[in-house]
């Protein structure tokens, strides 16, 4: 099967239905992960505040595993959205895997979210918007986690 190259003039971006679908899916994914992150940090902050009677080491470990779990969930949200979008060829495809399996979409999402970007997989077509937006969203959410962790741990250890 021959695929468009993604260069201008080959029709890759002429399907406005696909473009609008990618835009809507991207906005939906960003909204979902920001809400997940916010609510997760709120719950975690409340849990840490109530944990004065727990050993400090255990509370810190639980908090770290909780924020890692939040990021894994967020990576899965983007990965599922990417995988769903590539099911419709007009939205684009990922070079490096044909067909793109769900596990590959999650891997690509993890590399994009963390801004590692190994380069063994690359988006082509309108789904590039999702990937670029995921990278900046991941960068911001990781920074948010670092700030949250610092502030909570400083407060937590000061109480001790």
Mean pLDDT along residues 24-36: 98
Fold of the domain built from segment(s) 25-159: Helix Hairpins (1.10.287)
The set of residues, in sequence order, having a beta carbon less than 8 Å from that of 80 and lying 6+ positions away, is 102, 105, 106
Mean pLDDT along residues 25-32: 98
Residue 160 DSSP code: -
Domain extents for the chain? 25-159
Residue 8 DSSP code: T
- Rounded to whole angstroms, the Cα distance separating 143 from 160 reads 26
**Which tokens hold the place of 69?**
């779990």
The pLDDT confidence band at residue 151, using thresholds 50, 70 and 90, is: confident
Q: Tell me what pLDDT residue 11 has.
A: 53
Geometric angle at alpha carbon 103, from 20 and 79, rounded to 5°: 30
Counting residues of the chain whose pLDDT is more than 70, the rounded percentage is 84
Mean pLDDT along residues 18-38: 97
The pLDDT confidence band at residue 47, using thresholds 50, 70 and 90, is: confident
Q: Which of 96, 136, 93, 130 has the alpha carbon at shortest distance from 114?
A: 136
The set of residues, in sequence order, having a beta carbon less than 8 Å from that of 48 and lying 6+ positions away, is 59, 63, 152, 156
Q: Tell me what pLDDT residue 160 has.
A: 56
Q: Tell me what pLDDT residue 145 has.
A: 95
**Which tokens hold the place of 10?**
């080959």
Q: Which of 90, 95, 98 has the alpha carbon at shortest distance from 19?
A: 90
Minimum mean pLDDT among 18-22, 30-34, 45-49, 108-112: which range?
A: 45-49
Q: Which residue has the higher pLDDT, 139 or 50?
A: 139
The set of residues, in sequence order, having a beta carbon less than 8 Å from that of 108 and lying 6+ positions away, is 79, 82, 94, 100, 121, 123, 131
The pLDDT confidence band at residue 159, using thresholds 50, 70 and 90, is: low
Q: Phi and psi dihedrals of 121, rounded to 5?
A: -130, 140
pLDDT tens column, 97-126:
788 999 999 999 999 999 998 889 999 999
**Which tokens hold the place of 131?**
């990937």
Q: Tell me what pLDDT residue 1 has.
A: 44
């Amino acid at each position: 099967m021959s695929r468009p190259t993604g260069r201008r003039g080959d029709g890759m971006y002429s399907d406005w239905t696909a473009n609008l679908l990618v835009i809507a899916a991207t906005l939906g994914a960003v909204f979902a992960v920001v809400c997940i992150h916010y609510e997760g940090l709120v719950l975690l902050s409340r849990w840490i505040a109530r944990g004065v009677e727990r050993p400090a080491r255990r509370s810190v470990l639980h908090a770290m595993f909780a924020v890692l779990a939040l990021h894994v969930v967020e990576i899965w949200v983007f990965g599922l959205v990417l995988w769903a979008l590539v099911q419709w060829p007009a939205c684009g495809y990922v070079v490096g895997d044909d067909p793109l399996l769900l596990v590959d979409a999650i891997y690509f999402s993890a590399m994009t979210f963390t801004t590692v970007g190994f380069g063994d997989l690359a988006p082509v077509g309108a789904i590039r918007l999702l990937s670029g937006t995921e990278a900046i969203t991941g960068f911001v959410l990781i920074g948010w986690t670092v700030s949250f962790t610092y502030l909570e741990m400083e407060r937590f250890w000061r109480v001790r």
